[in-house]
Structure 1
């Protein structure tokens, strides 16, 4: 891993590395089988039954009879209800999950079967079936032993949860749940998955240990696996050091291998005797974020000017060779039915950039661009931030710096430790940053990232992007879309607005580059994160 997770909280995690580890400890009702790239029931015994009633849709699930928590007690619908409360309640660190579950208004538990329940959902959208099952279920006995949330109804949280902000029991629960322990303590990180967190050495490694008698091994379900007895995630921020460890046979697996080094490994017969190389099309994209709250970037023409200096194609050539695809939107170009191919990407064009700056009110004088804002004269100078140790982001920042210099814009490049970059992004303390995001081909709810209701400090809409029209589109996608054709129309329009606003600027989708030791089989390599299923790994016969 290039960096260790900020937290392993199943509710508050924010990076792909954390997600991979949480996937081994906790389970969701539904998930993707990386061997087939299909959505399958995991904690649920089967896919939900769906009943549409006027303005509501009912999704009925049954939890696997054999499903157990670490203490041997059964996983029940009460645990699902508890998880919904944690995901929806005010005062809790649940900003990333809450918007994904807004459409779930209530849960009805079967009076005769404690493992059977029904989600009552507002409206209908084709992707609701996945979204109702795509969140980790928490053990109520472990996370809330004092039953502090027992008196709260899920339906109440779907109305105006602010009424509960003074609830003494909720405040007491929040005071505990929001502490770092709920994302780091191995005694609390106990789910229904096949592994437990054995050890976490800060900045060095995380080790997971297989449960002795995990219920999934007796379920006769091929995609429920926990084969390796122990899994160690080594934290190696420097890719050169990581590649050296790989070449010295000290790692069984390395992902995110730089393109040039990946090509070199493909030419090494000695290396290929021990390792197989894989380059699946990933659902991860790199984007540039511009802080629209800054007086320098309020006018979208200024942001558009900067977009013409990003030079995506050169960046792909330098950083990825043939292992990336330019994109004009958050939708992968490979999903043609939803991708807006009528848009023209922001290719490198300094003359257009200068023209847009002039139209935005900037004037060229004394070897710089200046504008009077609120009675104060300011110069267009930019600080570009990115996560330290990521050469792709570093290349993007340097190329932008060089191109901006040609247009008379001074740019300072600033590498930052990952958690600090996240903190400053949430606090809106940045000019421009480069980040990446992972998605999947099953769900397209971008509300947490792009809706203005999540643009306050602490929200995930770091750039402040949003218009009344884009907000309306995001609301409709998350609640009322009834057909794939309608979804396609809305997504294409959203991409057009994003392209015009130039605040959240998608640059390219990557191909993953993974090396896996040949002593393993059943690796299930996929374009979906985490691009392989380490729980399924088995040793090849000698």
Structure 2
């Protein structure tokens, strides 16, 4: 049956490819695991859709995957930031040459229109509306239609990124009747119930909320270097490079690219099918390859003649969280003992085939300026764990470890929760269970449906859990995770970790703009978190992808999607 099923898969791939347009020499073919629900730059809901939209539309700022740095895209430079008492002003200027598909210039009026679409009621903008809620108004320069100032409420370190991190929409194309002109950005704050009766807004919402704004190639035309050429449902999406795109004529902006003539996204839900398509040379790029399959590809000499393999350091890490509110875990020495039983190296070997990097905290080891190299990840050490448990007042008895807490005799036990179906977390839980058993500590392993796990964490109904978090190298605002003001029921500080010193450090990290001072504060924060051993960062993952060797200038990165397909060039 296995051979038959593989033959059928190969035939399906063959017929799918035959139905596509003839392949141009520099066309790049990429796999999408799921078909995008929409390509709307406002209401997209999946990573694949976002990858496509990034080639059609642009934001003021974006990540340059060649350097993993934030750079100006539609803006001609990073914003000028002016902090006042209760507001912060971010002043931008758009690139002089930036233009839309019809040749008209991108102006501040388009930015204002975009903010209205993102903030207004009745529109399908629920995903992005909270992201721009802090932007209270926009002021356009009367002398320069490409210069404007965003007025933000308060200040947080991620505001600079967020003021530039949304796709700018062409007002001429998205609102040809000017229905949104009667709405002002400053009126889109607070209670918006009265605006829901605005006739123009209701008329616009009726148009904007239709599928056309997420599927129609005539509407999906932004300032990016590509247009949507064809969308064959369930099969593929093809993007075509614009003729005479403005970004190709921009001086000194190597991060603005549109090199391949065509980019085709093949929709292949099954990982096995996607890997077969790669081996059959029907894909040029494949990411998210499983560790076992990646190891097999590394041994395939024939495959490696045509494809290169990459393992960039990702910005996603796995961690263990311990509930410090429970009396049995209130002593940090008890938590440190558990940290010595996690055996991070074995977890990496079993679940990641060693494609991961141990870490001492939530700062990625790849961000060398801010990572604390003076610390070492907790090693497996049952003798040290025993010593710490005794120091914390636990006594070893034939039935296990016991301690008198608040007048009650308490046994040290652990219930480990993780998202059911995730083998990485399951392996980590079993490895902890095995090492704890050597010391006589009973551990119950319990996989939970994701929503139930989230409910337990928010209500503080847990002992220990495994989870992962994604970050970036641009902002290090850890307040929601570690500040005690976020440790209440429903707050994101699930473990309850926090000391007066760590609270002060978190606030200072967000306030300072000096890199040297930020590095000093972040390294001290890592020391405090390491010692508290409540939020135990275990390892940062490595991505695993393959790309055809006929291309160069791939801009391999730990940031999703881990490469910049717009930069691909054919080797000469």
Residue in structure 1 matching 2:442, options 402, 405, 409: 409
1:61 aligns to 2:92 (yes or no): yes
| Equivalent in the alignment of 1:342 | 374
Q: How many angstroms does 1:42 deviate by? A: 1.2
Task: Specify whether residues 153 and 168 from structure 1 end up closer, same or farther in structure 2 by C-alpha distance, changes over 3 A only.
Answer: same
Q: Which runs of 5+ in 2 are unaligned?
A: 1-30
| Equivalent in the alignment of 2:80 | 50
1:277 aligns to 2:305 (yes or no): no
Instruction: Give the secondary structure class of the aligned counterpart of 2:148.
Output: strand
Task: Specify whether residues 190 and 60 from structure 1 end up closer, same or farther in structure 2 by C-alpha distance, changes over 3 A only.
Answer: same
| Equivalent in the alignment of 1:161 | none
Contact 1:90-1:165 at 8 Å conserved across structures: no
Q: What's the CA shift string for 1:192-239, capped at 9, x where partnerless?
A: 4335597597xx77746347668556644553334353432545465x
Q: What's the CA shift string for 1:11-31, capped at 9, x where partnerless?
A: 788986665445334422122
Q: What's the CA shift string for 1:281-320, capped at 9, x where partnerless?
A: 4444333344567787666555444322221122233344
Task: Specify whether residues 223 and 292 from structure 1 end up closer, same or farther in structure 2 by C-alpha distance, changes over 3 A only.
Answer: same
1:247 aligns to 2:279 (yes or no): yes
Residue in structure 2 matching 1:308, options 340, 362, 365: 340
Residue in structure 2 matching 1:186, options 215, 227, 237: 215
1:522 aligns to 2:542 (yes or no): no
Distance in 2 between residues matched to 1:3 and 1:463, nearest whole Å? 34
Task: Specify whether residues 256 and 292 from structure 1 end up closer, same or farther in structure 2 by C-alpha distance, changes over 3 A only.
Answer: farther
Residue in structure 2 matching 1:110, options 141, 144, 150: 141
Instruction: Give the secondary structure class of the aligned counterpart of 1:277.
Output: strand
The farther-off stretch of 143-152 and 480-489 is 143-152
| Equivalent in the alignment of 2:566 | 535
Contact 2:113-2:180 at 8 Å conserved across structures: no
Instruction: Give the secondary structure class of the aligned counterpart of 1:153.
Output: helix
Q: How many angstroms does 1:270 deviate by? A: 0.6
1:437 aligns to 2:470 (yes or no): yes
Distance in 2 between residues matched to 1:423 and 1:10, nearest whole Å? 31
The farther-off stretch of 120-129 and 300-309 is 120-129
Q: How many angstroms does 1:274 deviate by? A: 2.0
Distance in 2 between residues matched to 1:181 and 1:422, nearest whole Å? 33
Task: Specify whether residues 351 and 22 from structure 1 end up closer, same or farther in structure 2 by C-alpha distance, changes over 3 A only.
Answer: farther
| Equivalent in the alignment of 1:160 | none
Counterparts of 1:16-55 in structure 2, within 5 Å, are 20-44=51-75, 46-48=76-78, 50=80
Instruction: Give the secondary structure class of the aligned counterpart of 2:363.
Output: coil
Q: How many angstroms does 1:86 deviate by? A: 7.5
Instruction: Give the secondary structure class of the aligned counterpart of 2:434.
Output: helix
The farther-off stretch of 23-32 and 64-73 is 64-73
Instruction: Give the secondary structure class of the aligned counterpart of 1:345.
Output: coil
Contact 1:139-1:191 at 8 Å conserved across structures: yes
Distance in 2 between residues matched to 1:393 and 1:450, nearest whole Å? 22
Counterparts of 1:154-173 in structure 2, within 5 Å, are 164-165=190-191, 167-169=193-195
Distance in 2 between residues matched to 1:181 and 1:400, nearest whole Å? 51
Task: Specify whether residues 321 and 364 from structure 1 end up closer, same or farther in structure 2 by C-alpha distance, changes over 3 A only.
Answer: same
Counterparts of 1:234-383 in structure 2, within 5 Å, are 234=267, 236=269, 238=271, 242-259=274-291, 261-290=293-322, 303-320=335-352, 323-353=355-385, 367=399, 380-383=413-416
Distance in 1 between residues matched to 2:143 and 2:65, nearest whole Å? 35
Distance in 2 between residues matched to 1:298 and 1:149, nearest whole Å? 57
Task: Specify whether residues 72 and 379 from structure 1 end up closer, same or farther in structure 2 by C-alpha distance, changes over 3 A only.
Answer: farther
Distance in 1 between residues matched to 2:311 and 2:97, nearest whole Å? 37
Contact 2:106-2:170 at 8 Å conserved across structures: yes
Task: Specify whether residues 461 and 88 from structure 1 end up closer, same or farther in structure 2 by C-alpha distance, changes over 3 A only.
Answer: farther
The farther-off stretch of 53-62 and 499-508 is 53-62
Instruction: Give the secondary structure class of the aligned counterpart of 1:271.
Output: helix
Q: What's the CA shift string for 1:75-131, capped at 9, x where partnerless?
A: 432443465677789998569974x996x7764321233321134578999987656
Distance in 2 between residues matched to 1:423 and 1:278, nearest whole Å? 37
Q: How many angstroms does 1:506 deviate by? A: 1.8
Q: How many angstroms does 1:533 deviate by? A: 0.7
Q: State TM-score, norm by structure 1.
A: 0.73
Task: Specify whether residues 412 and 127 from structure 1 end up closer, same or farther in structure 2 by C-alpha distance, changes over 3 A only.
Answer: closer
Contact 2:268-2:274 at 8 Å conserved across structures: no
Contact 1:307-1:502 at 8 Å conserved across structures: yes
Distance in 2 between residues matched to 1:112 and 1:290, nearest whole Å? 57
Distance in 2 between residues matched to 1:133 and 1:151, nearest whole Å? 20
Distance in 1 between residues matched to 2:466 and 2:52, nearest whole Å? 26
Task: Specify whether residues 126 and 457 from structure 1 end up closer, same or farther in structure 2 by C-alpha distance, changes over 3 A only.
Answer: closer
Contact 1:393-1:435 at 8 Å conserved across structures: no
Distance in 2 between residues matched to 1:111 and 1:435, nearest whole Å? 48
Instruction: Give the secondary structure class of the aligned counterpart of 2:215.
Output: coil
Task: Specify whether residues 89 and 423 from structure 1 end up closer, same or farther in structure 2 by C-alpha distance, changes over 3 A only.
Answer: farther
Q: State TM-score, norm by structure 2.
A: 0.70
Q: What's the CA shift string for 1:416-462, capped at 9, x where partnerless?
A: 67x8877887787875123242412x433334554556667877655
Distance in 2 between residues matched to 1:25 and 1:423, nearest whole Å? 38
Q: What's the CA shift string for 1:250-279, capped at 9, x where partnerless?
A: 432222334554344233221112211223
Distance in 2 between residues matched to 1:217 and 1:451, nearest whole Å? 43
Q: How many angstroms does 1:487 deviate by? A: 0.9
Contact 2:348-2:356 at 8 Å conserved across structures: yes
The farther-off stretch of 260-269 and 129-138 is 129-138
Count of residues in correspondence between the two structures: 522
1:493 aligns to 2:524 (yes or no): yes
Task: Specify whether residues 197 and 274 from structure 1 end up closer, same or farther in structure 2 by C-alpha distance, changes over 3 A only.
Answer: same
1:484 aligns to 2:484 (yes or no): no
Instruction: Give the secondary structure class of the aligned counterpart of 1:286.
Output: strand
